A = this chain, B = another copy of it.
């Protein structure tokens, strides 16, 4: 059996969400979905808009804003706020256990993802100790990466 591509999966998720909520699949939404997934990195609305307009110059920025909010609702994307200013969007993975945190290079902007079950366990423990019922968390590590092309990469 053929493996569904990440586009196929996301598209299926979108279709289901649309159907369930009486929404429509439009040319713009298809284009934005495809462009977003192809980029395979964290994108700001501005960057995404530029890529989308390379295919269809008539797309308005409000449409990209609205569509990305929709993708977040449909669990196709998630919104991140690593720095002040513009939000970044990243593609959502599969299962229940796709939670991850981020490591961000202050020199070159590279963003790495990681998971650490031991840290998560300790977070639960801290929350319990302080009388909280933990729902979720946000953790970002900032530093500098030592890759050869650091300083040169745009992201």
Partner of A106, one of B105, B135, B141: B135
Tell me whether A62 is interfacial, beta carbon within 8 Å.
no
Copies in the complex: 2
The range of chain A's interface size is 20 to 34
Interface of A is mostly: strand
Residues of B within 8 A of A131 (CB): 145-147
Tell me whether A140 is interfacial, beta carbon within 8 Å.
yes
Whether the Cβ atoms of B141 and A126 lie closer than 8 Å is: yes
Interface hub of A103, A134, A140, A146 (most chain B Cβ within 10 A):
A103
Complex: A7 Cα to B34 Cα, angstroms: 56
Residues of B within 8 A of A147 (CB): 131
Residues of B within 8 A of A141 (CB): 123, 126-127, 132, 134, 136-137
Complex: A133 Cα to B105 Cα, angstroms: 9
Residues of B within 8 A of A133 (CB): 143-146
Nearest B residue (CB) for A123: B141
Whether the Cβ atoms of B126 and A105 lie closer than 8 Å is: no
Tell me whether A139 is interfacial, beta carbon within 8 Å.
yes
**Interface stretch among A18-26, A68-76, A88-96, A111-119?**
A111-119
Tell me whether A152 is interfacial, beta carbon within 8 Å.
no
